[in-house]
């Protein structure tokens, strides 16, 4: 179904939705009742998977996939590159008569062994034991992917080493979900809730991206290799008119979006909201929330599908955090909450004193977690591209704080004895000794400048990098909150029933008073906040390198290992992988700049210099009275800038060579950040000045005006 020619009157969306997903309803139809039930129990973590069940599920999956045209299957996993990986096998098995039958065994479903020695493992997988194993993740549904010529069955899997260490982003996420479930159930039990059997975190990501015309993209080596422009002067118009944000969507783009939705809906991914974003040619897509694990898988598929469908429309999707200087970059908003299997949102303010106690406890836990583990959350947003956004007046600063809104802050102040709350008669709630107004159900406060905002019944983490997996953000968030909940539970479990309400009130009060420094309802983009945050002692971890370095802080190793999410060794390996990946990315960008400057920009400038010099000579030979003053000035300026460009390139080259020679990953990454990256800015400034001085047709690359406005 290319070109977006979808007739929804012929194919109702309700039928199309999830048609490529091995969903619960497909399983219910195709699996024997007993197997279906057992698999559900496995998915909920109540039972371990047996080979017998796997055999039955595998054959049902195979039949379903083959009926839909599949010839291959693949274990789909998420190695430490942050991308997804796959290795396809066909279902064929030769028979003695020269034919084949289509086979897919339980063993093949459960476990794969890709030759995965080339993925980053940060030393976890010695080369003599290079094997990595992919293990079926029953909690995320299998799906079919269609490309131009075939259909493949995709099985979401976790990627682990021979010794069971996490080699991917999914294993820690699943472990963190277990941790927060365990601790939340303890709290619920204390609150007298025996009916909720499971707790999971819910996540709804909003994905931002840019679109550029493919033919222009193909002429920009920086876009092709680094995903962002490394040179580029501002066009006459940027985003100052605010005319793109929520503007009417151009037809070429809406054609693309229609087909994008169609592809996502088939996969059972609930693409819901789409609109123009702030920067020209920037857009957003939000899907409806799901469990953190499924949402993470789905977001990977969203990024993948965006790229694939764009190409069919002669477009390229840029997921980079800052593809263009001078206009807003892209982020990802990670909406997050905690829910029970019987439909309770634990961050939903309620009507009864019981619900209020529950809400306040979980809210206090999140506030305390974010304050205590702010550096860990900052690490989760650390990304080469994000360094261009955070604190640059288009995204939250690198300081982690929480926005609660005035109403909720007032309530918490009252609970913690620091203020009074005005409320009308009959709207009072009692928690412990404190009278409270009813919680407003839908708090409409909006604060776009906070990195972590409470939005009525969920938190929105706004620091996430647009190109990155959301696995780690949710892993770290779950870990931090689980840890605080564990502390709460310990205290409350030893409290006598009669004192429980009082102790809960005390706990909330204490926790809030100790951690309210992280609450900030004002303008996060202002310089005042940076100063104020420093006074409050909040960490301001400005760069990716500094953030990655914090991953190995004792408190971070402590919280992650205490709850079995990542061991010290696993954390050290990630630390190394992230530092190396940072250095490699900056190295690539620097190398691209050197080539663009020396092989394209410098020669182009020299051609125009020669042309101008020739012109001056020719005109002078006709009439020596003509001074050609302006032409001579332009010539001098161009020569000067060309020299600047060449000199800046030479400096950059020296810095790159020196960074390359550093063995220690941390020192090397610092050198890339504080030497190479800085030298890149100087080179860019020289290049951009030349772009503005040269005739338009002499500039060797498509310019910002074309890239940002021509669609
Ligand atoms: P915004 O005003 O920020 O655009 P929306 O109400 O459109 O917010 O929701 C943004 C995202 O939040 C959507 O993906 C939505 O599914 C998700 N969301 C809503 N409720 C929850 C929840 N309880 N847990 C996690 N995500 C949620
Ligand atoms: Mg939002």
Instruction: Note the pLDDT tens digit of each residue in 427-470.
Output: 445 454 455 556 655 555 677 889 999 998 999 999 999 999 99
Return the ligand 1 atom nearest residue 345 CA.
23
Beta strands, E only, 234-310: 271-276, 282-287, 290-291
CA of 333 to the centre of ligand 2 (A): 6
Where does the pLDDT of residue 140 fall: very low under 50, low under 70, confident under 90, or very high at 90 and above? very high
Q: Cβ(342)–Cβ(200) under 8 Å?
A: no
CA of 404 to the centre of ligand 2 (A): 15
Q: According to the model, what pLDDT value does residue 434 have?
A: 52
Does residue 202 have its Cβ closer than 6 Å to ligand 1?
yes
The secondary structure of 115-155 as a DSSP string is --TTS--TTSS-GGG--EEEEE-TTS--EEEE-SS-EEEEE
Token pair in block for residue 576: 């190394």
- The single residue listed with the structure tokens 């974003």 is 277
Residues above pLDDT 90, as percent of the chain: 79
Per mean pLDDT, which range of 14-23, 204-213, 385-394, 580-589 is the poorest?
385-394
Token pair in block for residue 574: 């990630």
Q: How far apart are the first and last CA of the chain?
A: 22
Q: According to the model, what pLDDT value does residue 499 have?
A: 87
CA of 455 to the centre of ligand 1 (A): 9
Return the ligand 1 atom nearest residue 336 CA.
25
Does residue 204 have its Cβ closer than 6 Å to ligand 1?
yes
Residue 51's CB is within 10 A of a number of other CB atoms, namely 12
Average pLDDT of the chain to the nearest whole number: 92
Reported as type and span, the H/E element at residue 402 is: strand 402-403
pLDDT score of 609 more than 50:
yes
Which ligand is nearest to the Cα of residue 459, counting in written order? Answer: 1
Output the pTM of the full model: 0.94
Using one digit for the tens of pLDDT, what is the confidence trace for 237-291? 888 888 888 888 899 999 999 999 999 999 999 999 999 988 999 999 999 999 9
pLDDT score of 236 more than 90:
no
Does residue 671 have its Cβ closer than 6 Å to ligand 1?
no
Does ipTM top 0.85?
yes
Token pair in block for residue 675: 């030497």
Which ligand is nearest to the Cα of residue 298, counting in written order? Answer: 1
- The single residue listed with the structure tokens 């009525």 is 456
What is the pLDDT averaged over residues 364-385? 96
* Residue among 314, 331, 323 nearest 220 (CA): 323
CA of 273 to the centre of ligand 1 (A): 10
Does residue 271 have its Cβ closer than 6 Å to ligand 1?
no
Using one digit for the tens of pLDDT, what is the confidence trace for 635-681? 999 999 999 999 999 999 999 999 999 999 999 999 999 999 999 99
Where does the pLDDT of residue 497 fall: very low under 50, low under 70, confident under 90, or very high at 90 and above? confident
CA of 203 to the centre of ligand 1 (A): 8
Q: According to the model, what pLDDT value does residue 419 have?
A: 53
What is the pLDDT averaged over residues 234-239? 88
Q: According to the model, what pLDDT value does residue 1 have?
A: 42
pLDDT score of 45 more than 60:
yes
Q: Higher model confidence: residue 396 or residue 534?
A: 534
Does residue 345 have its Cβ closer than 6 Å to ligand 1?
yes
Does residue 386 have its Cβ closer than 6 Å to ligand 1?
no
* Residue among 684, 674, 681 nearest 544 (CA): 674
Using one digit for the tens of pLDDT, what is the confidence trace for 51-107? 999 999 999 999 999 999 999 999 999 999 889 999 999 999 999 999 999 999 999
Q: According to the model, what pLDDT value does residue 560 have?
A: 98
Taken in order of first residue, the domains within the chain and their CATH numbers are 2-167 (3.10.20.70), 177-232+241-566 (3.30.590.10), 581-709 (1.20.120.1560)
Q: Give per-residue burial for 92-119: e unless 16+ CB within 10 Å, then b.
A: eeeeeeeeeeeebebebbbebebebeeb
pLDDT score of 301 more than 80:
yes
Q: According to the model, what pLDDT value does residue 421 have?
A: 52
Go through the chain and tell me how many residues it has. 711
pLDDT score of 157 more than 80:
yes
CA of 205 to the centre of ligand 2 (A): 8
What is the pLDDT averaged over residues 349-359? 80
Where does the pLDDT of residue 293 fall: very low under 50, low under 70, confident under 90, or very high at 90 and above? very high
Using one digit for the tens of pLDDT, what is the confidence trace for 312-342? 999 999 999 999 999 999 999 999 999 999 9
pLDDT score of 109 more than 60:
yes
Q: According to the model, what pLDDT value does residue 125 have?
A: 61
Q: According to the model, what pLDDT value does residue 420 have?
A: 52
């Amino acid at each position: 179904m290319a070109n977006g020619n979808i007739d929804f009157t012929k194919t109702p969306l309700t039928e199309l939705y999830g048609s490529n997903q091995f969903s619960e309803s497909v399983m219910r139809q195709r699996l024997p009742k007993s197997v279906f039930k057992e698999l559900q129990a496995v998915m909920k973590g109540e039972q371990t998977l047996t080979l017998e069940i796997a055999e039955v599920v595998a054959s049902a999956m195979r039949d379903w996939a083959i009926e839909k045209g599949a010839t291959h299957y693949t274990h789909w996993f998420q190695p430490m590159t942050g991308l997804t990986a796959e290795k396809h096998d066909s279902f064929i098995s030769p028979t003695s008569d020269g034919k084949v039958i289509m086979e897919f065994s339980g063993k093949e479903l459960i476990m794969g062994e890709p030759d995965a020695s080339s993925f980053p493992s940060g030393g976890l997988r010695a080369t003599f034991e290079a094997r990595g194993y992919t293990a079926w993740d029953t909690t995320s549904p299998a799906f079919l992917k269609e490309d131009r010529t075939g259909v493949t069955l995709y099985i979401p899997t976790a990627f682990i080493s021979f010794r069971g260490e996490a080699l991917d982003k999914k294993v820690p996420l699943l472990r963190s979900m277990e941790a927060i479930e365990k601790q939340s159930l303890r709290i619920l039990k204390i609150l007298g809730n025996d009916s909720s059997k499971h707790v999971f975190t819910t996540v709804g990501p909003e994905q931002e991206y840019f679109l550029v015309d493919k033919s222009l993209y193909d002429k920009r080596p920086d876009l092709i290799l680094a995903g962002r422009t490394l040179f580029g002067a501002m066009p006459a118009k940027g985003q100052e008119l605010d005319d793109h944000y929520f503007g009417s969507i151009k037809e070429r783009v809406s054609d693309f979006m229609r087909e994008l939705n169609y592809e996502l809906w088939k996969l059972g991914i609930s693409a819901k909201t789409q609109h123009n974003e702030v920067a020209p040619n920037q857009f957003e897509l939000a899907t409806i929330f799901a469990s953190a694990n499924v949402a993470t898988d789905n977001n990977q598929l969203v990024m993948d599908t965006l790229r694939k469908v764009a190409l069919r429309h002669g477009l390229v999707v840029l997921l980079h955090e800052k593809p263009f200087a001078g206009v807003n970059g892209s982020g990802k908003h990670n909406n997050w909450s905690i829910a029970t299997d019987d439909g309770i949102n634990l961050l939903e303010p309620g009507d009864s004193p019981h619900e209020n106690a529950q809400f306040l406890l979980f809210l206090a836990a999140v506030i305390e977690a974010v304050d205590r583990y702010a550096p860990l959350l900052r690490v989760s947003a650390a990304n080469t591209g994000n360094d261009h956004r955070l604190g640059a007046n288009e995204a939250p600063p690198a300081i982690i704080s929480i926005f609660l809104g005035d109403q909720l802050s007032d309530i918490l102040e009252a609970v913690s004895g620091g203020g009074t709350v005005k409320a009308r008669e009959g709207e009072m709630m009692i928690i412990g000794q404190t009278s409270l107004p009813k919680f407003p159900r839908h708090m409409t406060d909006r604060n776009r400048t906070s990195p972590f905002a409470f939005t009525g019944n969920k938190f929105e983490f706004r620091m996430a990098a647009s190109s990155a997996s959301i696995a780690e953000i949710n892993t770290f968030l779950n870990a931090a909150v689980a840890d605080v909940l564990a502390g709460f539970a310990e205290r409350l479990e030893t409290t006598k029933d009669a004192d429980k309400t009082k102790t809960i009130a005390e706990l909330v009060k204490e926790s809030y008073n100790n951690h309210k420094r992280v609450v900030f309802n004002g303008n996060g983009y202002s310089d005042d906040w940076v100063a104020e945050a420093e006074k409050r002692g909040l960490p301001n971890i400005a760069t990716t390198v500094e953030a990655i370095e914090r991953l190995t802080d004792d408190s971070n190793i402590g919280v992650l290992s205490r709850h079995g999410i990542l061991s010290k060794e696993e954390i050290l390996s990630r630390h190394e992988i992230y530092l190396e990946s940072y250095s490699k990315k900056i190295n690539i960008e620097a190398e691209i700049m050197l080539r663009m400057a020396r092989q394209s920009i410098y020669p182009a400038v020299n051609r125009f210099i020669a042309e101008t010099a020739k012109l001056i000579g020719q005109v002078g030979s006709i009439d020596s009275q003509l001074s050609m003053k302006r032409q001579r000035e332009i010539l001098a300026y161009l020569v000067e800038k060309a020299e600047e460009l060449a000199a800046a390139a030479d400096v950059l080259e020296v810095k790159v060579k020196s960074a390359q020679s550093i063995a220690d990953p941390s020192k090397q990454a610092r050198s890339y950040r504080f030497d190479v990256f800085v030298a890149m800015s100087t080179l860019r400034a020289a290049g951009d000045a030349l772009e503005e001085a040269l005739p338009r047709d002499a500039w060797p690359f498509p310019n910002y005006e074309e890239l940002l406005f021509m669609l």
